[in-house]
Amino acid sequence: MFSCKDEEKCLFDSEFKETLDLAEEGNIIAQFNLGVMYEEGEGTSRDLEKAIHWYEKAAEQGFVEAQFNLGLMHYDGEGTAQNHKMALEWYQKAAEQGFAEAQFNLGWMHVNGIGTPKDDKKAIEWYEKAAEQGEAMAQCDLGFMYAEGKGVGKNELKAMEWYEKSAAQGVGMALCNLGLIHAKGKGVPKDLKKAYGYFFVAAANGFEAANHEGDKIVTELSPAEVVEAKKWGTELGVMVHGQNSDGDPY
């Protein structure tokens, strides 16, 4: 008789076999899950080409997460040659189904002219769709677009509104940009103490450039004001968000 000495491995192997059987029968959820298992090496050896194969099976049936994952793999060239146009196509399909992360990535590609001609207006359109669903990096980038007047009329109040929404989710770039707004008095009264507080918490949330911005103004504050600013920043209560802090796509 044979026995499985590694119980966890046996469970993974069994789950993989069941998922494979269902996927081959055309079960869309199983096809997606099988793609994940091949991509992550769960219950089987990691095989990115097979991951793409099963993601495509699910994506062609309209499974939005599979469409998004295909976009990621084509963008990064994982399991296939890097192809930004193909990535854009899959992101577009997922975005049109309301998938917020795909909408953000689509906006980012339009604003940077990757896989498509640069188009700030289209970027705004997709950033807004994602931001309205609470996608934190889209909120931050949308704030930047309003602050700079890219693809939309310049509007510092709108910029602050979107930065604040993003900052409330702990995005370091948004926190730093709010610090810059208060340091320069752009659309709000100049307030170096509040600016330093934003820089402090942005740096704590992993946005390293905020340290440099804080160093620029710290000499204009008294030691007591620095303590107060740090206390204020800490009381914002924002935690590190699971998003990219540098504004790159997923």
| Full-model pTM | 0.87
3-43 tens-digit pLDDT: 445 545 555 578 999 999 999 999 999 999 999 999 999 99
CB atoms within 10 A of CB 55: 29
Tokens of 234: 């800490």
Nearest to 101 by CA among 73, 135, 126: 135
Residues 6+ apart with CB under 8 A from 141: 104, 107, 108, 111, 127, 247
- pLDDT digits 0-9 by tens, 185-198: 988 999 999 999 99
